[in-house]
Amino acid sequence: MKHLVILFTLISSLGFGQEKLDKLLDKWNTRNVPYISVETLALPKTNAILLDAREKKEYEVSHLEDAIYVGYHKFKLEETIKKLPKDKNAKIVVYCSLGIRSETVAHKLIKAGYTNVFNLYGGIFKWKNSAFQVVDTLGKPTEKVHSFNKDWGRWLEKGQKVF
């Protein structure tokens, strides 16, 4: 059943919304960090360390399960490295709302010598739009997602928007 959900999600993501998201990310990103899709990240054997590159108030509303908050404006590479394994080949996925802020943070990790770093394509918005679960600060599933502001929030199609 899970495979059918993933297949349906893949097929439905190939439409017009995908093209618009591609254009948005092309406008803001330099693609100096490889993307990973939400569908690939959701696979059981992905085993990635998840880093949330949004602001603290966004993370506190909801985040991907087991994600580590690292922030964006107050991101500190030295502090983040302390939270990571010594193995610089460990798989790391950085995400934000859509994948713009996370590219900057992920690129800093690559420049610090990490070799298996990815940017989550479409961020937490695409994750939630694809019907994957987010959790609150207590680790409980929630429908709430901080949508940054009304302009960026239009990209969040599922769940309850929090500003």
Which residues are catalytically annotated? 96
Tokens of 40: 């690939």
End-to-end CA distance of the chain: 34
> Who contacts 9 (Cβ-Cβ below 8 Å, separation ≥6)?
38, 39, 130, 131
Tokens of 113: 């010598």
Helix (H) or strand (E) holding 113: none
